[in-house]
Amino acid sequence: MTINAQKYLVGIMGLILLVSVIAAGWLDDQRRKKENPTAVVVVAAPVVSADLQPGLKLYEQLSCVACHGIAGKGGVHNINAQTGQEVPALIHVADSYTKPDLIAKIRTGVPVTAKLNPDGPVPPLHMPGFKDFMSDADMDSLVKYLYSLKPQGENLGF
Amino acid sequence: MSRLTAWLHDRVPIDPEELRKPLKEPLPIHLKQWVFCLGGTPAMLFGILAITGILLTFYYVPYPSQAFASVTNITYKVRMGWFIRGIHQGASQLMIVTVLLHMIRVFFTRAYRKPREFNWFFGVGLFMLTLTFAFTGYSLVYDQLSYWATTIGTNMIADLPVLGKPLLYALRGGPTVNPNTLTRFYDFHIGVLPMMMSLLIGVHILMVRLHGVARLEGDPREETYPFFPDHMLKEVIIGLLILIGLINYVIFFPPIVGALATPGDTPGHIRPEWYFFPTYRWLKLTTLSIGMAGSICYVTGLFFWPFVDAALEKIAPRRNLWLFVGTACYLVTIVFLLWEAIVG
């Protein structure tokens, strides 16, 4: 290939590169519109009382925090999940679950996350079951911690 | 000399002509073939990896409770995050492929022979660093596959003689993969390894400059051609081809995240990334100790290959034993890779 031909080739490839980058930018815009993102703010873990420490430790060790967020505030994106395309927050579990129900949920997990749009992609995150690696005492500590996440002074209901 | 050049020269007393010399360096005519232009490709990819890697560190949080969430954040929320992560991921895979192709080219043209043995060492060192880079980077994602691949990968270290167990503990920061492991791997991935890689790439290129590009065995042609612009244009074309290929690959196959790493919940089917398939298959065929011993011998043989070649030449001159041994090793590696890829 002659030098001149190579120079032309570089020019053409430069153009293709430019078009490819523009296409990626356009695609990014489309993805963002579709997924309706909100900003994630990483905040420091809150200080909890001594009796809640074992539960908080488990919450971090078992990686619950990775999906449900610090202090159970949620916000981790889960594309096409029925729960607002996010992993649900846990701050209101005290209102939504009785203790046995919550324990059962932690034990079995949520093997399949329900889809928001039935024709859309499978949500990448689902909750694993923890029945094999938590003792009853661990479960009590975790549930106690989760119940404590309810915002102070907030009273739901009529 | 213009006034500006003279002003600059007073303050930085380097002759511009000296700087232009490497650009004008005459290269052997066989370098006009594309297959001989592969050496610069890993360096270009390293540049792409460095830029995208720095961008990823803006959003990545190297702590188990937040690593996975930050990768999910990068992939689905951060503007162009999926794109940057995809390019980083693709470039790392491509870097391994191009380093391998370059090594195969150097091997089969015997460009490693006297007086270029040291540069072969540096080259193999760069290959090992590339694999370490890929391994540490993969583990940072902190999904199920990467967590368990890290567990398996680090487990192998325990079987190294004498130093195995202390080394494993030092690497993991504990008996199992834990928060310390992630921060240590992160330090290596963004600090220690890039520094070592930059240094080795520099020395590797310097050695090529000191010795000059090796002449092709059996090629009687004495003609040369200049590095700039002739050879440089070829490198630019390859660089553009890589960028276009990578960008379009990411557009059509954007990166995703797997399930969150759950210590204690071992997935049914775990295996390392493809570049460890040959080692993994080999380890499956033997006991762990024999497997590790074999792997160490293989890597040592690869490092010292220029001397092994010279020894084989002495034992049986002009019998091309190097070609038989080398081809056999490459074939076995490829068979193991395909075997693991297909059968798993």
Q: Render B328-342 in DSSP notation, one character per residue.
A: HHHHHHHHHHHHHHH
Q: Are A69 and A125 in contact (CB under 8 A)?
A: no
Is the CB of B66 less than 8 angstroms away from the CB of A10? no
Q: What is the mean pLDDT of residues B263-288?
A: 81
The C-alpha atoms of residue B268 and residue B264 are separated, in whole angstroms, by 12
Burial B295-315 (b: 16+ CB within 10 A, else e): beebeeebbbbbebbeebeee
Q: What is the mean pLDDT of residues A34-41?
A: 52
Query: Of all helices (H) and strands (E), which one includes residue B179?
Result: helix B179-187
Q: Are A150 and A157 in contact (CB under 8 A)?
A: no
Mean pLDDT over the full length of chain B:
88
The C-alpha atoms of residue A60 and residue B205 are separated, in whole angstroms, by 47
At the top level of CATH, the class of B26-270 is mainly alpha
- Find all residues with CB under 8 Å of A116, minimum gap 6, and list them: A80, A81, A82, A85
Per-residue pLDDT, A40: 47
**What are the CA-CA distances from residue B168 to residues B159, B162, B171, B269 (Å)?**
9, 11, 5, 24
Out of A9, A128, A133, the one facing B237 most closely (by C-beta) is: A9
Residue B209 banded pLDDT, cuts 50, 70, 90:
confident
Q: Mind telling me how many Å the CA of A1 is from chain B's nearest CA?
A: 9
Q: Mind telling me how many Å the CA of B316 is from chain A's nearest CA?
A: 42
pLDDT at B191 over 50: yes
Virtual torsion, Cα A140, A144, A147, A152, nearest 10 deg: 180
Residue A116 banded pLDDT, cuts 50, 70, 90:
confident
Structure tokens at A158: 């009529």
Query: What's this model's pTM, rounded to 2 decimal places?
Result: 0.76
- Find all residues with CB under 8 Å of A66, minimum gap 6, and list them: A76, B64, B65, B66, B67, B68, B69, B142, B260
Higher pLDDT pick, A50 / A133: A50
Residues of B with Cβ-Cβ distance to A76 under 8 angstroms: 69, 72-73
Structure tokens at A6: 């190579």
**What are the CA-CA distances from residue A32 to residues A27, A29, A36, B80, B99 (Å)?**
9, 5, 6, 9, 36
Q: Are B335 and B285 in contact (CB under 8 A)?
A: no
Residue A37 banded pLDDT, cuts 50, 70, 90:
very low
Residue A41 banded pLDDT, cuts 50, 70, 90:
very low
Nearest residue of A to residue B81 by CA position?
Answer: A28
The C-alpha atoms of residue B256 and residue B200 are separated, in whole angstroms, by 33
Residue B62 banded pLDDT, cuts 50, 70, 90:
confident
Q: Mind telling me how many Å the CA of B111 is from chain A's nearest CA?
A: 25
Is the CB of B82 less than 8 angstroms away from the CB of A31? yes
pLDDT at A132 over 90: no
Residues of A with Cβ-Cβ distance to B260 under 8 angstroms: 63, 66-67, 125, 128
The C-alpha atoms of residue B200 and residue B206 are separated, in whole angstroms, by 10
Is the CB of B68 less than 8 angstroms away from the CB of A35? no
How many angstroms separate the first and last alpha carbons of chain B? 67
Residue B261 banded pLDDT, cuts 50, 70, 90:
confident
Per-residue pLDDT, A43: 46
At B18 the three-state DSSP class reads: helix
Nearest residue of A to residue B86 by CA position?
Answer: A24
- How confident is the model over B114-133, as pLDDT tens digits? 899 999 999 999 999 999 99
The C-alpha atoms of residue A132 and residue A130 are separated, in whole angstroms, by 6
Structure tokens at B122: 């540096």
Q: Which of A19, A32, A40 to mutate to test the interface with B (most CBs of B within 10 A)?
A: A40
Out of B73, B79, B234, the one facing A40 most closely (by C-beta) is: B73
Tell whether the torsion through CA atoms of B142, B143, B146 and B150 is positive or negative: positive
Q: Which of B75, B85, B146, B244 to mutate to test the interface with A (most CBs of A within 10 A)?
A: B244
Out of B68, B241, B257, the one facing A13 most closely (by C-beta) is: B241
Residue B33 banded pLDDT, cuts 50, 70, 90:
confident
Out of B77, B142, B260, the one facing A125 most closely (by C-beta) is: B260
DSSP state of B229: I
Residue A131 banded pLDDT, cuts 50, 70, 90:
confident
One-letter amino acid for residue A105 of the chain: K
pLDDT at A39 over 60: no
Structure tokens at B44: 């270009």
pLDDT at A44 over 60: no
One-letter amino acid for residue B117 of the chain: E
**Which of B95-104, B139-148, B272-281, B289-298 tops mean pLDDT?**
B95-104
Residues of B with Cβ-Cβ distance to A6 under 8 angstroms: 233-234, 237
Structure tokens at A151: 């915002």
Residue A46 banded pLDDT, cuts 50, 70, 90:
low
Out of A24, A31, A126, the one facing B247 most closely (by C-beta) is: A24
Per-residue pLDDT, B122: 95
C-alpha B342: how far from chain center = 24
Q: Mind telling me how many Å the CA of A95 is from chain B's nearest CA?
A: 26
Of B38, B34, B33, B40, the C-alpha closest to B221 is: B33
**What are the CA-CA distances from residue B244 to residues A117, B2, B96, B239, B240 (Å)?**
33, 40, 18, 9, 6
Is the CB of B236 less than 8 angstroms away from the CB of A132? no
Check if B202 contacts A (Cβ < 8 Å): no
The C-alpha atoms of residue A133 and residue A139 are separated, in whole angstroms, by 10
Residue B137 banded pLDDT, cuts 50, 70, 90:
very high
Check if B236 contacts A (Cβ < 8 Å): yes
Is the CB of B69 less than 8 angstroms away from the CB of A66? yes
- How confident is the model over B213-233, as pLDDT tens digits? 888 887 888 888 888 888 889
For CATH 1.20.810.10, the residue range(s) in chain B are 26-270
Per-residue pLDDT, B47: 95
Per-residue pLDDT, A157: 40
DSSP state of B189: I
At the top level of CATH, the class of A50-148 is mainly alpha
Per-residue pLDDT, A35: 62
Per-residue pLDDT, A154: 53
